[in-house]
């Protein structure tokens, strides 16, 4: 399904009038004509779409600007990597790509529809209010405030009268900071508010602190931004008690599931008490996902961290098991020709178990996007080998976010809460 536009052309209002306008829109007197406001949730999205804005401005991508991760946008990003002579293993929407396209000449314009495109996966959940913060590449641009009411179409599960509205705050940095004053009254306390930080975790820290306050449920992607900062933000937020959801953690699901499946048969479980080595290969330079996987395994198996160090693309760590035996963990970034749009996706992992008495076990899991010959080498022939292929997730960020919203969890997943601080510690 393609994204859908609001049915109504958004109305541009003076920022101070927005809360009153929306209050009136959903007042009991008005409900007869517009339907009932859904009692669901509010979603506040930080939607910078820097790569898309610069690619459109430089004429590398046709508009309109939507903030969606389309195949055209990804293709334009890959093209820019070639043009800017960046390493081919650079993810197509990476910070380095944005820096490169920001330097390109051009003043092409296109309609900016950020916040007005509603992904069907999200609209199916009938959000009461979608508020999009859409910073522009022109820092001096003034604040524009757009408002539109929205009712799901019958094929989206509409037909009921539960409706919502969208609010877009668009402008340069300073203008958006000014616009923050209208946010509070737009987020009713009677329903949960989710904040989706759909940008770099190391940008606009003040704004992030302001919109993603502890009482709101936060969605971030620890694969977007400088790795140390990503894991640090994740750790801080988790430890503050905020409900945090990490899309990078969500994408780990198939790895965690496949590894758990290997040890589902009861006769294999004992091997988990005898792990001696864990190797993880990730794409390129972003180790966050690999570290989260290592931290999850360590937590589940009760390992204690002794030491860790990171040099370039390699992280090595020593743990000890509950029985005192040492476990070596090694994470390495490997260059790939056609990197995933999400930085640092896991390429493969190897878990070696060496029981004192009995045959050792070696588990090798490989992403279906490529081989993992490096992990398959190294004299594993004497071990009982279990190999499996892990399907790479192709869900768009909107679909992942919809999955989180649909789950309705109001607290951080305890497994993530346990893994995030350890992953941050591994990167030191």
Binding region for other proteins (CB under 8 A) = 253, 256-257, 259-260, 263-266, 269-270, 272-273, 297, 300-302, 322, 407-410, 413-415
Report the distance separating Cα 226 and Cα 145, nearest Å. Answer: 31
Q: Which is nearer to other proteins, 62 or 409 (CB)?
A: 409
Q: Please list the residues that pair with 118 across neighbouring strands.
A: 4
* CA-based nearest residue to 69, from 395, 406, 418: 395
Say how far apart CA 407 and CA 245 lie, in whole Å.
11
CA gap 419, 277 in Å, rounded: 18
Minimum distance between the CB of residue 405 and other proteins, rounded to whole angstroms? 11
Closer residue to other proteins, CB minimum distance, 5 or 124: 124
The least distance separating other proteins from the CB of residue 248, rounded to whole angstroms, comes to 16
Q: How far is CA 55 from CA 7, 106, 117, in A?
A: 28, 9, 19
Query: Least distance from C-beta 353 to other proteins, angstroms?
Result: 11
CB of 159 to other proteins, least distance (A): 13
Q: Which is nearer to other proteins, 202 or 384 (CB)?
A: 384
* Alpha helices, H only, 116-155: 120-123
Instruction: Pick between residue 301 and residue 399 the one whose CB is nearest to other proteins.
Output: 301
Half-sphere exposure of 186 (CA within 13 A, CB side): 29
Task: Report, in Å, the least distance between residue 154 CB and other proteins.
Answer: 14
Q: Which is nearer to other proteins, 260 or 326 (CB)?
A: 260
Nearer to other proteins, 29 or 410 (CB): 410
**Rounded least distance, CB 417 to other proteins, Å:** 10
What pairing do the DSSP bridges indicate for beta strands 217-220 and 4-5? unpaired
Which CB sits closer to other proteins, 156 or 202? 156
CB of 321 to other proteins, least distance (A): 9
Assess contact for 110 and 389: CB atoms under 8 A. Answer: no
Q: Encode 75-120 in three state secondary structure.
A: HHHHHHHHHCCCCCCCCCCCHHHHHHHHCCCCCCCCCECCCCEECH
Q: How far apart are CA 339 and CA 343, in angstroms?
A: 8
Inter-residue contact 67 to 52 (CB < 8 Å): yes
């Amino acid at each position: 399904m393609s994204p859908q536009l609001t049915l109504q052309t958004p109305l541009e209002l003076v920022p101070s009038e927005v809360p009153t306008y929306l209050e009136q829109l959903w007042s009991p007197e008005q409900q007869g004509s517009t339907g009932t406001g859904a009692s669901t949730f509010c979603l506040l999205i930080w939607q910078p779409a820097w790569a898309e804005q610069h690619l459109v401005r430089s004429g590398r991508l046709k508009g309109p600007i939507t903030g969606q991760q389309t195949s055209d946008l990804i293709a334009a990003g890959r093209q820019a990597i070639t043009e800017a002579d960046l390493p081919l293993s650079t993810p197509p929407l990476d910070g380095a790509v944005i820096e490169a396209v920001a330097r390109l000449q051009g003043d092409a314009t296109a309609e900016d529809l950020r916040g007005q495109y509603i992904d069907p996966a999200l609209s199916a959940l009938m959000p009461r209010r979608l508020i999009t913060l859409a910073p522009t590449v022109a820092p001096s641009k003034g604040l524009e405030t757009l408002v539109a009411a929205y009712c799901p179409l019958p094929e989206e599960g509409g037909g009921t009268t539960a409706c919502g509205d969208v609010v877009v705050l668009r402008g340069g940095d300073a203008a958006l900071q000014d616009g923050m004053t209208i946010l509070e009254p737009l987020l009713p306390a009677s329903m949960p508010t989710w904040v989706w930080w759909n940008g770099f975790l190391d940008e606009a820290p003040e704004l992030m602190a302001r919109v993603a306050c502890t009482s709101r449920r936060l969605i971030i992607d620890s694969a977007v931004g400088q790795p140390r900062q990503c894991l640090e933000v994740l750790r801080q937020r988790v430890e503050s008690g905020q409900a945090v959801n990490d899309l990078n953690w969500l994408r780990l699901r198939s790895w965690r599931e496949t590894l758990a499946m290997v040890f589902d048969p009861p006769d294999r479980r004992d091997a988990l008490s005898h792990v001696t080595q864990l190797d993880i290969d990730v794409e390129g330079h972003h180790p966050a996902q690999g570290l989260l996987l290592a931290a999850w395994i360590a937590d589940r198996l009760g390992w204690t961290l002794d030491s860790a160090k990171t040099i370039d693309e390699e992280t090595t760590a020593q743990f000890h098991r509950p029985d005192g035996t040492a476990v070596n963990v090694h994470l390495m970034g490997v260059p790939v020709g056609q990197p995933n749009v999400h930085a640092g996706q896991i390429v493969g992992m190897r878990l070696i178990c060496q029981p004192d008495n009995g045959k050792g076990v070696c588990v090798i899991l490989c992403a279906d996007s490529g081989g993992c010959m490096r992990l398959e080498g190294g004299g594993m022939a004497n071990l009982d080998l279990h190999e499996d292929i892990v399907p790479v997730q192709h869900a768009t960020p909107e679909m992942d976010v919809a999955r989180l919203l649909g789950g309705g969890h109001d607290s951080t997943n305890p497994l993530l809460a346990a893994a995030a601080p350890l992953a941050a510690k591994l990167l030191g």
